[in-house]
Amino acid sequence: MEHVYIADVQDHVDEEVTIKGWVYNTRSSGKIWFLLTRDGTGLIQGVAVAGEVSEDVFEMYGDLTQESSVIVTGVVHQDDRAPGGYELLLKDVRLVQQAEDYPVALKEHGVSFLQDHRHLWIRSTTQHALLRIRHEVITACRDFFNDRGFVLFDAPIFTPNAVEGTTTLFETEYFGEKAYLTQSGQLYGEAGAMAFGKVYVFGPTFRAEKSKTRRHLTEFWMVEPEMAYYDLNDNMDLAEEFVEYIVQRVLEERQEELKQLERDTKPLERVQRPFPRITYTEAVDILHQEGSDFAWGGDFGAPDEQIIADHFDQPVMVHRYPSEVKAFYMKRDPENADLALGVDMLASEGYGEIIGGGQREDDYETLVSRIQEHGLPREPFEWYLDLRRYGSVPHSGFGLGIERAVAWIAGVSHLRETIPFPRTISRLEP
């Protein structure tokens, strides 16, 4: 029989096919029993009727424990009452391996237990939906930049220097030298932009933040475009086009998964350009209007971001932050040196910052001064300073955190469910 995947059974109605997968659930009703099989692409219900299958197959019911691996053969039948609209009239069932008592059974479990068994939990329908949405987001990111002439530019994981400050670095010994796990591929992306015009870095990044909030992981993925001859406004234009593209792509391609997660898609349907843009000072005014005593000059926390975002029914772009709260490489506003030409995009519904970026400092002497002001050693940045010695131009870029974007689009509250194996300050396994 032809081996087909469950996602393709609609092309084989009234044909006999073979499906290779795992037992998701079973139930019996006298002379008939039902086998719900998954194969990674979907679920299909198989029906075994006494007298229509061999006695050996019919008596196999008791051996079909949850997550046992099976190869089933039967005729595809269209039935709107069945999961997915199709069922399999079973002819044969072969047990490949009988699973022991499955720890992640079809019942409620605590978060800690599920995280301990993450390698098994990812088989559940909810986690499938989340990780398929993650897959779609990542594919959309690549398609967006590839279709616009960007070059994928891989940055190293081991680096000699900090990008986002020295307090969140994972340090390691590197053949007698100190090295760090990358906080961002941005600095290397800038080198790529000077070589190719526009590039994007895509990979894992690491922050040694001792944070237990739902918005933080110690290891997460970012996509980071860098563009030569882009100013802050060009950067914001690209960021909003990018986010609109990703959201609309998921709405178009992952309706079933969004439905599985019971995601209200109305807020996502409103994600269409242009997005509102406000200055940091205007954002502080919004906080004050809402009764906050937030002091101008500080960085926004999660509650502040939620108050600001709740004023809009679209993602909002906040730009021109105080230079003191931004990284050394951020260019100052030529009209006000107290402000940096940076921008954060805040998502609605309490999800906060999903994009951070800005215009980079392109002047050699100014960048040297910034490195000194931040107390950073100059030597590891000599190669970075070369980018200002040899053909420096205005340039900009941003980074989008994949897990935060997935959490927002899928409507889940914690980042730990948006990555196959999350890393937090309290979890290194599995």
Please name which of 67, 49, 46 lies closest in space to residue 58, comparing C-alpha atoms: 49
The pair phi, psi for residue 173, each rounded to 5°, is -80, 135
- Choose one of 38, 62, 97: the last residue of a domain: 97
The CA distance from 306 to 383, in Å, is 39
Domain of residue 39 covers 2-97
pLDDT at site 2: 81
CATH number at residue 78: 2.40.50.140
Residues 183 and 254 in one domain: yes
**Structural domain count of the chain:** 2
Instruction: Flag whether the pTM goes above 0.85.
Output: yes
pLDDT at site 166: 67
The CA distance from 416 to 414, in Å, is 5
Domain annotation covers residue 105: no
The CA distance from 385 to 398, in Å, is 20
- Choose one of 34, 62, 97: the last residue of a domain: 97
Residues 388 and 286 in one domain: yes
The CA distance from 151 to 225, in Å, is 9
Q: By three-state DSSP, how is residue 311 classified?
A: coil
Please name which of 260, 245, 10 lies closest in space to residue 124, comparing C-alpha atoms: 260
Per-residue pLDDT tens digits of the chain, which is 430 residues long: 689 999 999 999 999 999 999 999 999 988 999 999 999 999 999 999 999 999 999 999 999 999 999 999 999 999 888 888 999 999 999 999 999 999 988 778 888 899 999 999 999 999 999 999 999 999 999 999 999 999 999 999 999 877 776 678 899 999 999 999 999 999 999 999 999 999 999 999 999 988 777 778 999 999 999 999 999 999 999 999 999 999 999 999 999 999 999 999 999 999 999 999 999 999 999 999 999 999 999 999 999 999 999 999 999 999 999 999 999 999 999 999 999 999 999 998 889 999 999 999 999 999 999 999 999 999 999 999 999 999 999 999 999 999 999 999 999 988 999 999 999 998 999 9
pLDDT at site 211: 77
pLDDT at site 30: 84
Residues 125 and 240 in one domain: yes
Residues 93 and 156 in one domain: no
Q: What sections of 275-381 are H helices per DSSP?
A: 280-289, 302-309, 364-373
pLDDT at site 176: 93
- Choose one of 67, 97, 127: the last residue of a domain: 97
Residues 368 and 254 in one domain: yes
Residues 252 and 393 in one domain: yes
Domain annotation covers residue 113: no
CA distances from 308 to 11, 185, 282, 424 (A): 49, 29, 10, 28
Domain annotation covers residue 400: yes
pLDDT at site 107: 76
3-state helix, strand, coil in the chain (%, to 5): 35, 30, 35
pLDDT at site 333: 97
CATH number at residue 298: 3.30.930.10
Residues 91 and 126 in one domain: no
